[in-house]
Amino acid sequence: MIQTLIRLAVCTALVSGLSACAGLTRLQSVATPNELYALTPKSTFSSNLPRLTQQIVVEEPTATAAVSTDQIAVQPTALRVQYLPVARWVDRAPLIVQSLLIESFENSNRVPAVGSSGIGLRADYYIATDIREFQAVVPADVGPDAPLQIQVRLNIKLIDAREDRIIGSRSFEEFYPSLSDNPNDVATAFDEALGSVMKDAVEWSIRSIHTHATEREEREARARRPAPRPSPLSESGTDASEQTPVQDDG
């Protein structure tokens, strides 16, 4: 009987110890911090960019649920979406892209004021962005050791705030290879791809807004000009200076 109780006590202690170890493992797994990654704005642009006098509001980009997250998406196939383990963005991808676009417009030194709609800025033009692609992809028809390709594609729409209409729409896309599937290399490749896309998008936006605003100002200036006064010839059909005086025979 005593031996049976001892065996039961030993088994209970072992089970309790294993349960405690399992619980500790889960706690350590949950407590393991994620590696957080940030991306950088673009700071170099063409020197011949025109200077704007209009204010710009960059709206929060739209994106699919697979991208609208702080997880770093990887597509092993066209129909599957996975995420890098223990690695995340510092914020949701759309908010990161919005913030970096605002900073990139500021860094161009060609826009007097740019911000988000949340700060109450009176917009002359809105930048509406749709994030079409923002993930690492496994290239098709390559070996298993092929590097990941980072794909970034943004669709940019320019909206005239005064007339509430789209004045331009264009997509910008970039592929950039990652050196490995290490999160550091993947984040670096994302930074290069997004930076290239933002540079092209910001320059195109500034040029398009400048062209549209200039053409509108010219139309409005022509409309304000007074109509030319009709000449005497147009009123009487005969130029008064060419009329022959009638002689008085009396």
Q: What is the pLDDT of residues 46-78, one digit of tens each?
A: 999 999 999 999 999 999 999 999 999 999 888
In this structure, is residue 36 part of a structural domain?
Answer: no
In this structure, is residue 169 part of a structural domain?
Answer: yes
Q: Which residues pair with 125 in a beta bridge?
A: 56, 160
Q: How far is CA 43 from CA 127, 133, 209, 247, in A?
A: 19, 23, 20, 84
pLDDT of residue 134: 98
- The whole-number average pLDDT for the span 128-143 is 89
In this structure, is residue 19 part of a structural domain?
Answer: no
In this structure, is residue 162 part of a structural domain?
Answer: yes
Report the CATH number at residue 130.
Answer: 3.40.50.10610
Domain count, the chain: 1
In this structure, is residue 46 part of a structural domain?
Answer: no
In this structure, is residue 203 part of a structural domain?
Answer: yes
Q: What is the rounded distance in angstroms from the CA atom of residue 200 to the CA atom of residue 172? A: 7
In this structure, is residue 141 part of a structural domain?
Answer: yes
In this structure, is residue 97 part of a structural domain?
Answer: yes
Domain region containing 186: 53-221
| Residue 178 phi, psi dihedral angles, 5° rounding | -90, 140
Residue with tokens 């970039």: 174
pLDDT digits (tens, 9 = 90+) for 204-234: 999 999 999 999 989 888 888 887 777 666 5
pLDDT of 169 > 80? The answer is yes
